[in-house]
Each structure stands twice: as structure tokens, then as C-alpha cells.
Chains A and B, each alone.
Chain A
Amino acid sequence: MIQASDYIGVLPEIVLAVFGIAVMMTEAALPPGASRRPLGWLAFVGTLAAVAATLYQARHPGTAFFDMVRVDSFSVFFHLLISFVAALVILSSLEYLDTQHIRAGEYYGLILFGAVGMVLMSSAIELVLIFIALEISSISTYVLAGFRRRAPASIESSIKYFLLGSFATAFFLYGVALMFGATGTTRIYQIADAVQNGQHSALVFTAVALMFVGLGFKVGAAPFHVWTPDVYEGAPAPVVGLMSTAPKAAAFAVLLRIFFAAGAPGWFWPVWISAALSMTLGNVSALVQDNVKRLLAYSSIAHAGYLLVAFAAAREIGISAAMFYSASYAFMNVGAFAVVSHFASAGERYVTLEDYAGLGRRSPGLAATLTIFLLSLIGIPITGGFFAKLYVFSAALQSNLVWLVIIAVVNSAIAAYYYLRIIVVMYMRNAREGAPPVEHVSAPLGVALALTAVATIYLGVLPGRVLDYASRAAALLVR
């Protein structure tokens, strides 16, 4: 029997979906010429309501809907993260849509629907439900990627993402099917029992590998990363801020559940190799990029690699390190893309490194915030990125993954170079002749930037609370 308490288990999802529908309905009612900003605010309220719903839900942990959904500290952590990211992206989109002359309320609706999928991914403990959640989140992001309808690059981005993405989810589905064949169940915690009872057939290994392919695509880990640069380059900048953080965090959450909660075997070497490859390919390719969006795309591949290092560490400390990393990466990357989206101007004209020349003088505040995010991406102290890397690397060291850590450290050194290039260009080069003045930052975007910057520095100075929470969640994850 479905009881009222079951609905608490999916409360944030319900809230987000209701607000998403409300946005769509209002959109239909609005006259074509009217501003779509109110819809943005409505969606923003929706994300805040989702935060509140999550906090309420956190007081009622347990499973719901016949053990398909589980509310625990782990899911609460990702619920909050995803809702915050969605809220920040909405704030930074308000101005962006106006400058790009995009009048479409469904944009905000899609963000909310996407968030429904992502949030569900992190609390679902049944593989078919996870698959459905994955599809919900993916389909919204496919559409969002193509939102700059007049730009061919955006269309290309959307189609590429759609084709490759559906291919990848198919892999995931095959994995689910094989897992069912091998263990007779699709519930993660029952799989854990089956695996523990020694059902290590080749089928299980194949299933894990196939699921890893599907999710590896979603997080943009090498060798499934090829789509990332093109899609990120074409998609609207705030959407990239969303795509590169929230769905990834959700996919990582699923991976954590499959690897550790289900205790699935045979993932160690694939993850090890994928981590090493992602870091190296991402960073080395980023070195030669002149388009900032592309550069950040390659950087996000590299960061997926660092995160997988934490997976390879394979302990509670690795899980909590991965959670902390997702959180701090989310804030710094959303922030960075918010700056990029403001600076890109109408038609996303200014996205090359050259365009950033002299930004330190033309717009000191914007340059300073971007510098904070870039320093955090490098992993310099006083920023969240530093502790994120520190936790991941020390988790890996404690599991004696010395070589992987060496590869990661060398990679961080390489990465410093290209992030630094942006800072150098902003502060130490003079602006091109005839460079247009940087437009004034609107209030919502300013708030989004301030929040992400504060979050980045908070995680870099007082990481204790978030990490403690993540550690407790990690301890609960394995039953």
C-alpha cells in the first residue's frame, strides 16, 4: 500500500515538478511580447521550495514506494546540491535570456524538470527508476542545450548531445537488464546481498561495465568524453554551468550507489584507467584552447577524472571526498560559467581568450570573482577546490594508490597553466582596440556570483561541516 509517508520520500521531486508545470502553464497564458522574467522568479521560488522540502524530508529518513526510493543523508546531500545549483543557474539566466533575446518561459520549466530527474537519481535505489530519472534529466538538458535557436553551434550541440546521450543511456539500460539477469533483482540493496552471496558471474561484470559506460558518458569521463567540448561550446553558457555540474553530481551519486551500496565487483581497473585518462586528456587538451567555453569543457573532463580518483580509493573516506568534490566543483564551475555568460554578450560573441584581455581593468569585480573560481579550479588554498583535491588525493593515498595520485598531482600542475592563462590575460594584457565596454552586472546575476564566490571560499576556509556531513552520509550509504 502506498501511504502518505511515501510521498515524503519524493517530496522535492513533487515540488519541483509542480513548479515546473506552473511555469509552463503561465507561459502559455502570457502574451507573446511580455517579459519572461516573472517565470524565472517563479522557477527560482520552486528551487527554494525544493530546498525546504529536502530539509523537511531529511527529518524522515527511510525508504518509500516499495523500497524504490531511499531518503538518507546521502540523498539529502545531493538534493540540496542540485537544488542550489538549479537556483543559481536560474538567477544567472534571467539576465542572459534578455541579452540573447530569448523569450521562452519553458527554459525555466526545463531546468526544473531536469532537476526532478537529477534529484530522483540521487535518491532512487532501484535500477529501472534510476534509468527513468536519468532519462528525465537528460531529455531536459538535450533541449536546453539547443536553446540558442539562431546559432547553428547550439543546434549542433543539442543534436550531438541527444544522439550520443541516448546511445549512452541505452548502454546503461543494457547493464540494468544484464544485472537483473544475473541477480534476479533490480534493487540496489538486494543486488548487494546477491553479490555478497557469491554471484560473481561474468554477467555481473559485464553489467557493471555497461552501466559504467552509460554513466561515464553522463559525467564526461574519458574515453566517453568526446562530446563534451562541442556540446559545451554550442550550448548557452548558463546551461553549460548547469550541465557540467548538477547532472554530473547526480550521475556520480548513482555510480557511488552502484559501486559501494550494491558492492558491485570489477569496477576498480576501469575506474582507475578512466580517471587517469580523463585527467590527462582533459588537461593536455585544455592547454591549447583559445575558446574559454571549450577550455572549461576540457577542464570539466579533467575534474571528472579527479573525482574518479576518489572512487578508486574505494572507502568511506573516498565516498565523502567524492561528495565534497562534487559540491565544491559545482559552485566554482557554476560561478565561472555565470561570469562567462555575462561577458559573452548578445549572440555569445565574446568567448575567446583574447576577448578577456584587460578585463581586470574594464570590470574589476567580474574579473576578481572569476579569479576566485579559477584559483579554486587550480586548487589553491583558501578556495574549496583546494580541500576538494586534498581530500581526494589523501583518500587515494590512504588506499595506496600512489601512482594514481602521482598522475593526479602532475595533472594539477599542468592544469594550473591554462587556468592561469585566463588570469594573466585578464589582468596583465591590455584590452584590444575598440573592445566594447562590459555591461553592468544585473542584480540577480550579481547575487548568484556573490553566492557562488562565498560558497567557494567558505568551503576553502571552513570545510569541516560539509565534510562531516558527507562522512556521515558515506557511512550510511553502505547500508
Chain B
Amino acid sequence: MSEAILTIVTFLPLAGAVLLLLFPRKDDLIRWFALIVTLLGFVFSLHLPVHFVRGASGFQFETNRQWITAPNIHYHLGIDGISMWLVVLTTFLSPLCVLISWKSVHERVKEFFILLLILETALIFVALDLFLFYFFWEATLIPMALIIGIFGHERRIYAAVKFFLFTMIASMFMLAAIIWLYAQTGSFEYSAAQRAVEAGQIGWQAALWCFLGFFIAFAVKVPIFPLHTWLPDAHFEAPTAGSVMLAGVLLKMGTYGLLRFNVGLFPEQAREHAPWIITLAIIGIIYGALVAMVQPNLKKLVAYSSVSHLGFVVLGIFSFTTSGADGAVYQMLNHGVSTGALFMLVGILYERRHTFEISEFGGLATPMPVYATFFMFIMLSSVGLPLLNGFVGEFLVLNGAFQARAIYGILAATGVIWSACYLLWMYQRVFFGKVKKDVNLTLPDLSARERMALWPTALAALAMGVVPLFWLNAIEPAVRAVLSPLAQMAEAFVR
């Protein structure tokens, strides 16, 4: 079981997608089937945290089989505390995506759910073979681009093509780096690459080029300022479930990659180049927040808040402190839950009014009290209210940033204030005051299905805020393992 569990969790949705191909075009049947498959995936993925040995470093639940002999590619899966939670996050969000698209996707339902399930499979955080990672990394592009391009809003084609080209071109640099590493070491294994770099088998300059190759691919995906321009378009045009997957999981592949590959494989180069990366991250935090502040459009506001929040993650990773990196991983999960939920909420509003313009709303708390409460709760978790998840992540990241350099902490901390400003201001404009437009008076409140989609996120936000140690004590050993070469470097320096 423990050998196969990662394979099952990864490929269950794909099997579902293949079965779905054979289904007749009965929309409700397809929806229920997709829901069951994604729920099953979630249940299976719970096996991981239950049987995960906490405190142990290294990878667990490993499977390692030869996939292709020449070049030497392995089907090598395994998780540590970092990737485990990201896997669970993926399976957690997928059934919610199905629920939230129940009504909003009413044309080409079959195609939509097939794409969604394929996307879930392609989001692979468990690959320990560089090539396997790249393989799936590229494979995410197709379902995501199609989801945006077919089921999105007005300028969907532009957004889909932009998304595709940005990510594909950037990931070619990563592929080049991976192939180059293979040419040097004769293996695509993560650990082999790590050893080769550690042993100095790869020259400093060459390692730097590889570092940059990986960095460009991940920086576009995260996205790090100034490579972020595809993101607002993609988010805005994507259907709700697409946005949830994009914000919740896809972007995390970028930050995960930065931590696992950029820092994990090239610690020296990462340290050397941290200052400008952190600078970009901080620019992203502040820039994203400022642009979000002036957005007249709800969904764009949430999209830009993503740019800002992911800046925190990058900052935490490149602070090279345990606290910062812990916080970064935690913040990845938080962002998945909170921003995912925010996109769902915004999508729910769109289903009712077919607009995202803030000025169209006002006083919504009167007709939709339950909706307003959920929105408030999730928004506060995104702002970082103590006892909710956002607080823990931001606190840890800022703590790490201050340890690294006070100025980083000071500048980044303003980001927290900004995010409170734009989110609360937006909330005030949308929900408080008198109902300005008559159409809004009769808006129906949340349906049972919508509540079902939102409750898990709210509960997760609360649980992650109250008992963060449950997550963190699995994350921390993994983070320490990634950062250990850096710690050794620092010690050697002190001596």
C-alpha cells in the first residue's frame, strides 16, 4: 500500500477522466461521477498525513522504477513534509472545484470535467526525477489553457494563449538546465543532481546557469514581478474552477520548484542571488497590493492580491531561515485555501449578476447575509487575522525576513497593512451601506451546494490558524533538510 499510494493518488483522477470519456452526455451523471472521483482522491490522499512519519527527514512513500532506459529516466515518486501538504491541498480543492462548477458550467460539461481531472493528475508535487517533474509540469499547460480558453469569459482566447506561451517558453529554460545536468551526471535523479552539485562536480558558473534556467521557469509560474503580466489576464478570464486551481495549486508549483530545485539543488547560487530575488519579491508584494487597491473589478482585485501574497512566499524561501521557509510553505497552503475560497465567492456572485464590477454592488449583506459572513471570514483569513491561517504564515515569513535583514521585514510588513486596506475597503464597498441597485435586492443567498463548497475552506482556515503545529511539525524537518547545506555553509563561515 505505502508503495502504491502516491501512484494511486496521482493517477486516480486520470483514470476517472478516461472513464468519463466513455460516459454518455448526461450532465448530471458526469458531475456526480467527477465529484465522487475527486472525493475518492481526497480520501486516498489522507492516507499520507495519517501514515507520514513526522520528524523524519528524507522522502517517504517512495516508489522508484525505471521508466525509460535511454536516457535514464525513472518513475520516482516520494514526498516529504513540503510536498505532502501540497498533494493534500490539490485533492482538497478538486472536489470543491467540481461543486462550484456544478451550475456555472452548463455547456460541454463532459469536456470540462475531463480537463479538470486531467489537470488534477498533472499537478505533480511528488516527482523526484527531474525529467518526470518536467514532463508533468509541461502537461499541466494543456488542460489549464483549454479550461481558460473554452470556458472562460470574453477575452479568454487571448488569456489562454498568453498563459500557454509565457509558461511554455519559460519552461524551456528549465528543460535546458535539466538536460545539461543529465549530460553531466548521467541521471535525472533529484538526489544525484544534488550530490553532483555538492561535490563540486559542476562548476560554479555552470551551476549558476542551471540555477537561472530553473529560476526563470518558476518565476513565471509563481509569478514574480515583472513576469506576472499573464496572471491577471488568466485569472480574470478563467472560469471559477479554473481560477481556483490556478491560484490554489498551479502557482504553488512555481514556489515549490523554487524551494525544492533552486534552493535545494543550488544552495550557493541561491544565497548569492538572494538579494535581487528578494527585492523582486518585495516589489511584487507592494506593487500587487497597490494595484489591487485601485481595481474596480472584484476578480482582478483577488488576482493582484495573489501576486502580493506570493511575494511573501518567495521572500520566505529566500530569507534562508527555518522560520521564513516554514512560513513560506505554510503560506502556500494558506493561499491555496483562502484565495481559492475567495475566487469561489467571487464566482458565486458572478453567477448571480454576471459582473465583477465593484460599483455594481453595495449593501449585499442585506440580501445575502450568509454569503457576506463567509466572505468576511475568508477575507479575514487572507488579511491575516490572528487565530486564522493567514496570520501564522505571514508571521513566520516576516519573522524570517527580519532575521535575514531588518529592511526586508520592514518593507514586507507594509504589505500586510496594504492587504488589510484593499480587502477591507473592498468589503465595505460591496457589502455595507444601503443596497444601491434594485437588482441586488432580490439576489438569492447561498444554496446548499455552494455552502458545501465553502464550509471546508472555512473550517480549514480556522483549523490551520488554531493548531498550526499539526502542519508545521511535518513541514519543519523537510525545510531543515532543504536548508541544511546553507546552515553548514554559515557555520563554516563562523568558524
Contact = CB atoms under 8 A, between A and B. Distances in A.
Interface string B316-341: 00000000000000000000000000
A417 B165 contact: yes
A398 B182 CA distance: 10
Contacts of B350: none
A475 to B, nearest CB: 12
Interface in A419-453: 420, 424, 427-429
A412 interface: yes
A409 B176 contact: yes
B157 interface: yes
B183 A398 contact: yes
B193 to A, nearest CB: 15
B166 to A, nearest CB: 11
A360 interface: yes
**Max chain B C-beta neighbours (<10 A), residue from A361, A364, A420, A429:** A420
Given A380-B141, A413-B169, A427-B146, A394 B135 contact: no
Interface in A386-402: 386, 390-391, 393-394, 397-398
A391 B71 CA distance: 8
Interface in A348-363: 360-361
**Max chain B C-beta neighbours (<10 A), residue from A375, A381, A409:** A381
A291 B263 CA distance: 47
B415 to A, nearest CB: 34
B165 to A, nearest CB: 7
Contact of A397 (B67, B111, B180): B180
B168 A382 contact: no
Contact of B157 (A394, A416, A424, A467): A424
A169 interface: no
A463 interface: yes
Interface string B159-200: 011001100110010011001101100000000000000000
Interface residues of A, number: 31
B142 A375 contact: yes
Contacts of A381: 134-136, 138-139
A398 B71 CA distance: 12
B142 A380 contact: yes
Interface in B229-283: none
A420 B148 CA distance: 14
A382 B111 CA distance: 19
Contact of B179 (A361, A397, A462): A397
B108 interface: yes
Contact of B168 (A393, A398, A416, A428): A416
A464 interface: yes
Given A361-B108, A464-B69, A471-B70, A428 B150 contact: yes
A468 interface: yes
A417 B150 CA distance: 17
A464 B70 contact: yes
A380 B138 contact: yes
B68 interface: yes
B183 A463 contact: no
Contacts of B183: 394, 397-398
Nearest to A398: B183
B461 to A, nearest CB: 35
B149 A427 contact: yes
Given A364-B111, A375-B142, A409-B176, A428 B169 contact: no
Nearest to B118: A382
Interface string B123-147: 0000000000011101101100010
B156 interface: yes
A417 B160 CA distance: 12
A109 B160 CA distance: 46
Contacts of A390: 175, 179
B178 to A, nearest CB: 10
A405 B213 CA distance: 15
Nearest to B135: A381
A394 B73 CA distance: 14
A409 B176 CA distance: 9
Nearest to B152: A428
A382 B134 CA distance: 11
A382 B17 CA distance: 16
Nearest to A417: B165
A146 to B, nearest CB: 38
A393 B180 CA distance: 10
B68 A467 contact: yes
A464 B68 contact: yes
B161 A420 contact: yes
Contact of B68 (A409, A424, A462): A462
B168 A413 contact: yes
Interface in A4-29: none
B172 A412 contact: yes
A377 to B, nearest CB: 13
Contacts of B182: 394
Interface in B58-89: 67-71
Given A381-B135, A381-B139, A394-B183, A428 B69 contact: no
A360 B169 CA distance: 26
Interface string B86-106: 000000000000000000000
Contact of B172 (A394, A409, A424, A429): A409
A467 B70 contact: yes
A360 B108 CA distance: 10
A428 B164 CA distance: 14
Interface in B277-310: none
A394 B179 contact: yes
Interface in A463-478: 463-464, 467-468, 471
A133 B172 CA distance: 40
Contacts of A394: 71, 179, 182-183
Contacts of B169: 413, 416
Contacts of B136: 381
B179 A468 contact: no
A424 B108 contact: no
A409 B111 CA distance: 32
Contacts of B138: 380-381, 386
Contacts of B67: 464
9 contacts: A375-B142, A380-B139, A381-B136, A381-B139, A386-B135, A417-B165, A428-B156, A428-B160, A467-B68
The 10 closest A-B CB pairs, nearest first, are A381-B135, A428-B149, A464-B68, A381-B138, A413-B169, A428-B157, A394-B179, A381-B139, A427-B150, A409-B172
Interface of B: 67-71, 108, 111, 134-136, 138-139, 141-142, 146, 149-150, 156-157, 160-161, 164-165, 168-169, 172, 175-176, 179-180, 182-183
Given A420-B164, A467-B70, 12 more contacts: A361-B108, A381-B136, A386-B135, A398-B183, A416-B169, A417-B165, A427-B149, A428-B150, A428-B157, A428-B160, A464-B68, A464-B70
